[in-house]
Each structure stands twice: as structure tokens, then as C-alpha cells.
Copies of this chain bind each other. A is one copy, B any other.
Amino acid sequence: MLKLSKKSEYALMAVKYIALQQDKTCVTAREIAKNYNLPYELVSKVLQQLTRYNVVLSIQGAKGGYRLGKGTSDISLIDIISAVEPRHQITNCMMEGSSVKDCDHYDCCMIRDPLIKIQNKIDNLLKNITVTEII
């Protein structure tokens, strides 16, 4: 269905929000959730995943929160989406080390090559849009 998950949407919103508040030392998950009326737990979870991939960095404890891990022009949309959606591939068979076990038609599949090309094009598309462009 080529549909973006809520996680990805929330991640994009969160990163954009943080990017727009760069004057502050950091921004809390609660603030983002409140501002956009999103479930706090999910926003929180998404930010934790973004932290693991260094898209944002976290400051723990009271007065803690999140700030960007790099400059806005160094964060591409693929960084954000793949952080929260590690298996964002359009089909199972194009994941790292995929094989017959991921697909009943691995051997006879006639559409894998074209799909891999499409996957690469979509990835490039998302790679070429940075946070700078969306703020």
C-alpha cells in the first residue's frame, strides 16, 4: 500500500518540531505530544528510536529532553524513517541477506529486479530531502 506508518509521521513531526526550537537547549517528549495532541507514550518511543540512530540525542534526568543529533541539512528523511521503521523495504525479499525463506517465489520471481530498482529510487528520493527542506 506504500503507506507511511504513524510512527514515521510522528517521527517527522517530532524532528521538525525540535528543529524549529533550536534556541532551546532541549525539548521534552511531553511537550511535543501536548502540542500536537499525540499519544505521549508513542512520541516517547519514537524519540528513543531516533536516539539510537543518532538522529536526535537525549539528555536524561530532570530538565532533560531531546535535541538534534546533527545539523538540519545532515538529517535526511530516510534517516528518520528507517530509524523508526527498520524494515521499510517495499517487499520482504530485498532485505539484507534475504533468501528463499522470506518468499515462496524467490526462485521463480520475475519482478524482483524491477522492484529493487524502484526501492533504490524511493530511497534516493528520501535521502535527498533533508530536514532543512521541510522546515
Which residues does A use to contact B, with CB under 8 Å? 1-5, 8-9, 12-13, 16-17, 35-38, 77, 81, 85, 87-91, 104-105, 108-111, 114-115, 118, 121-122, 125-126, 129, 133-134
Contact = CB atoms under 8 A, between A and B. Distances in A.
Contacts of A89: 2-3
A134 B108 contact: no
Contacts of A12: 111, 114-115
Contacts of A134: 111, 114
A90 B111 CA distance: 22
Given A9-B111, A36-B108, A118-B125, 4 more contacts: A4-B115, A13-B111, A16-B111, A38-B105
